[in-house]
Amino acid sequence: MGKPYLYALIAGLSLFTAAHPASARSTADCDKPQSAKTQVLSDTVDPLPDVDKNDSVDACTQKSKVVSQVPAKVAPINIVATGGASILKKAIKGDILPQSEGSLYEDLAFKYRIYRPETPNGDTMVLLHGSGQDETSLVSFGSKIAPNAVLFAVRGRVIQDGSSRWYRRLTPVSFDQKDIRSEAKAFAEFLKQVTQQYKIDPNRTTFLGYSNGANLVNAVMMLYPDLVKQAVLLRSMPVLTETSEANLANARVLTVSGASDRLYAPYAPALEDMLRSHGARVEARSIKSDHGLGKDDVKVVSEWLSGATAQLNKN
C-alpha cells in the first residue's frame, strides 16, 4: 500500500470522526422538546395558552418545520404588532409602561394597574390577559388600539401549574364550572367597586380579553349581562356548560379567531352563536393567524373600535 493512499485513508477517517460528534449533537438536541417549544412560542403573546403541556406535537418535527420555514417566512404571523417580541417581553416584565402611573394596586379582590393617557377622551379599556401572563401583558396592545383610553389592566388570581389564570381548567377545552362561576362573581363585584371608586362610565368601557381572559369575559357576560356593554374577545371559546337566560341586547362584541388556531378556532362559531342567541350584536372575524396575536389583530380591532365606540358614545 503506497503512502499517498495511506494518507488519503487517514484523512478520510479523520473527516468522518469530526463529522460524527456534530451528528450526535443534533440527535441530542432532538431529545430536548422544551427547547424547541420555547423557540416556537417565544414570539407569541400568550406564552402558556390553554394548550396541554403534553400535547402530541413532536418537538423534533416541529423544530425542523421552523427551520424550513425561515427562508420563506421572514416575518412570522404571531410577532406582536406593537414592536415585536422584545417589546412584549419588556412589557410583561413591567419595563415598558407606555402611559402614566402603572403602579400595582392590591386594595381590591384582584390586583390591577392603571395607565392614563396624556389626552384622555373619556373611554376606558379593561384588559384581561391570557394564561401564564400578568396584568402588564396586553398594555402595549391596548395602548396601540386605544391610545386615548384609560387602561385598567387586571391580573387573574388563580394559580395552576405555576401559571396565573382566571379559573381552573380540567383539560385544554374543559373547565372547572364551579371555579368559573366563583371567579366570575368575584370579578363582577370587583368591576362594581372599580366603577364607583374611579368614576368609570360603563357605557364608554370596552373589555378586551385574550384567550383565557377572553373566556372569563364571555362567562361574565352570560352570568352578569348588565356589566359588559362592549367587548373584544381574542382567541376565545364558550366555557359555561349550563345555559343562561342572559339578555345581551345592549352588548356589542367583536370576536377574532385565528384560522390556524387548531385548539380554539373550531369553537369560534359556537361562541358567536351563543352571544347572538342572547341578543348581542356580534361581528365575527377570522384572520390568517394561529393562537398568537399579530398585526392583523391590531388592524381589525382598531377599525372595529373606531366605529363601534363612536356609535356607543352616541347612545
The boundaries of the domain holding residue 216 are 85-314
Count the domains in the chain.
Answer: 1
Which residue, chain included where needed, has cell 358567536? 272
More confident residue, 31 or 133: 133
Measured N-to-C along each axis, helices 59-69 and 33-41 cross at an angle, to the nearest 10 degrees, of 40
Is 51 a member of any domain?
no
Predicted local distance difference test score (pLDDT) of residue 8: 44
Query: Does the structure show a pLDDT above 80 at 22?
Result: no
Predicted local distance difference test score (pLDDT) of residue 290: 95
Predicted local distance difference test score (pLDDT) of residue 105: 96
Average pLDDT of the chain, as a whole number:
76
**Phi, psi angles (nearest 5°) of residue 168:** -80, 145
Query: Does the structure show a pLDDT above 50 at 154?
Result: yes
Query: Does the structure show a pLDDT above 50 at 44?
Result: no
Query: Does the structure show a pLDDT above 90 at 18?
Result: no
Is 90 a member of any domain?
yes
Predicted local distance difference test score (pLDDT) of residue 308: 66
Is 249 a member of any domain?
yes
Is 203 a member of any domain?
yes
Q: Within a 13 Å sphere around the CA of 82, how many CA atoms are in the beta-carbon half? A: 26
Query: Does the structure show a pLDDT above 90 at 29?
Result: no
Distance (Å) of CA 187 to CA 65, 85, 204, 244: 41, 30, 19, 18
Is 53 a member of any domain?
no
Is 27 a member of any domain?
no
Predicted local distance difference test score (pLDDT) of residue 101: 60
User: In whole angstroms, what separates CA 66 from the centre of its chain?
Assistant: 21
Read off the pLDDT of each residue in 131-147 and give the average, rounded to a whole number.
Answer: 95
Is 161 a member of any domain?
yes
Q: Output the domain CATH number for residue 147.
A: 3.40.50.1820
Is 102 a member of any domain?
yes
